[in-house]
Structure 1
């Protein structure tokens, strides 16, 4: 049984860590926006009232609705393919909790753990929850990693860009390592049991975990890894309609995510090539996958500004960059923080 003081200390440490990451997120975001303003926007920034015109707000609102709904439904149908059914309201709370955690932790690691914790809290076994969130991530990765090389090779806007030159080899290595990791995770899960066991043995050897906890964690780790391995097979054997819907809503989610800059530019009166805007966002998102900063803060703004500086005028570049991040990240994070607080308050009341 967990000691109350230990539990309290763990919670305090977790919240302190989140607070530190949040500060880093804000600082890096500010630095990234300043870099766009200074390096790519010619130190020009003018607010354009067309961004808050009723027609703009209506179109942006509809795209946001598609974005959030498809994000929730892609995980919902992945779970259905695995034989689990959760209320839709639970799934949509998870959308925002994931947006908060994945953007205040480096390389989105916290988002995955938060989703697993939340699903397990609502009755989904740990191995199944891990499989569902991993499969959902893999589906998105397959789309992005397949499209990125195509756009890198075909987009004129990227022809002489640094990303296709000096760091092209590094990107190719990252693609290989990322896909190799997920291939092992999904098809050779048992290969990970030995290193995981060794990590727990090392923690025990240095007296970082007790004997009882070491035995318990060893048992749970092996059990959940085997469950996870079985779960992926179950997903592939799941009802075809749910598997297809999980793939369909993943594609719709990504399409809506990549469409925000094009919509914003259209509302500002630009004549846009949708495929160019789409391609630039695919590559931007690809780079964000490897950002070590919380939520790719700073790096995402810099990459976006670098890619769109030849499309947008200086006075609109920072404005569109902020609007893009506000709609796709900041808004969801704020809602996620509110939802998380309400969930924690509910838990506290249940314990009283």
Structure 2
């Protein structure tokens, strides 16, 4: 199961990377690549390292709020393990499984581990959505065929709906609604719905129990994502492209919101295609494909390899064929 997925992923990444570069590269790109600034590569590595460090710091803060403890090495395994299984599964769903495995390996109770994993995802998505109105007010060309007014209305509506849902869950008003819906569907689906609702409510209550801790986690999450996305402007600058830093970061945030709901393994194809679509007016046509592939290499594939190493070291080769991988399907 694992090796089939790995082979499919490698083939998919290889084909997509080749196509993206083939259809966007030109003769001037080859000349530009010769003049590529080494400092930008170093800056990209440093940016990813800072982003991953802050991701680990966020994890330790969440575990501290839950009343548990974790060592820096254990936190690193959780972070990199997330990248490992996330890239093998649609919508990064395997990342949650990997985080649970490594948290249990660190002796975190399964109930708290589940809540912590949900909180990590919710806080990241919340930061991206909070940024959306500011991005749409300052960038007129995100999606040319949809007006920014429409996108702004949808984003504010989504933020308002989520805020209302969180309030309803914390206050208990939504409990009866969840039970009512569960009774109207099959018993099996109803149990899954109630379990999903219960886990998410526990995650929200955990954050609500420590407002100061919540603010700290939110800020660290934002800084982590900004550091990871900064790979792109560093790479563009290294190719001699004159960029608007805020514009580039805004479009990276916009792109990554959609990647959370990608149906392909690790967002492969959608990430590269979306990048070319959003950045073809910012970067020269001949360089946008190269930067798209390089971004994925720095921000996803290198952490994936580290996560692969930690998984083998922690669980052994026998893990790769176990049913836990099948459950991520």
Q: TM-score, normalised by structure 1?
A: 0.74
Q: Pick closer, same or farther for the CA change 1:120–1:221 going to 2, 3 Å.
A: farther
CA distance in 2, matches of 1:182, 1:118: 30
Contact 2:59 2:120 in 1 (8 A): yes
The residue aligned with 1:237 is: 209
CA distance in 1, matches of 2:21, 2:203: 47
- The answer to whether residue 263 in structure 2 is matched with residue 292 in structure 1 is yes
CA radius of gyration, larger in: 1
Contact 2:51 2:227 in 1 (8 A): yes
Specify which of 83, 98, 102 is matched with residue 118 of structure 1: 102
> Alignment length, in residue pairs?
313
3-state DSSP class of the match of 1:293?
A: coil
Structure 1, residues 242-301: CA drift from partner, whole Å, max 9, x if none? 433312210111111221111111122222110111111111111212210011100100
CA distance in 2, matches of 1:289, 1:178: 18
The residue aligned with 2:315 is: 344
CA drift at 1:60: 2.5
The residue aligned with 2:287 is: 316
The residue aligned with 1:161 is: 144
Q: Pick closer, same or farther for the CA change 1:36–1:87 going to 2, 3 Å.
A: same
3-state DSSP class of the match of 2:266?
A: coil
CA drift at 1:89: 0.9
CA distance in 1, matches of 2:317, 2:19: 42
Contact 1:108 1:294 in 2 (8 A): yes
User: Could you tell which deviates more after superposition, 82-91 or 118-127?
Assistant: 118-127
Contact 1:41 1:313 in 2 (8 A): no
The residue aligned with 1:102 is: 86
Q: Pick closer, same or farther for the CA change 1:232–1:309 going to 2, 3 Å.
A: closer
Task: Name stretches of at least 5 consecutive residues in structure 1 with no aligned partner.
Answer: 1-15, 204-217
CA distance in 2, matches of 1:44, 1:311: 16
CA distance in 1, matches of 2:313, 2:29: 38
Q: Pick closer, same or farther for the CA change 1:178–1:91 going to 2, 3 Å.
A: farther
Q: TM-score, normalised by structure 2?
A: 0.79
The residue aligned with 1:80 is: 64
Q: Pick closer, same or farther for the CA change 1:91–1:51 going to 2, 3 Å.
A: farther
- The answer to whether residue 33 in structure 2 is matched with residue 48 in structure 1 is yes
Contact 2:92 2:265 in 1 (8 A): yes
CA drift at 1:328: 0.5
CA drift at 1:116: 1.7
CA RMSD, 1 decimal: 3.8
The residue aligned with 1:4 is: none
Q: Pick closer, same or farther for the CA change 1:162–1:223 going to 2, 3 Å.
A: closer
**What does 1:188-207 align with in structure 2 at a 5 Å threshold?**
202=188
Structure 1, residues 19-38: CA drift from partner, whole Å, max 9, x if none? 44434433443444345335
The residue aligned with 2:325 is: none
CA drift at 1:185: 10
Specify which of 23, 36, 44 is matched with residue 20 of structure 2: 36
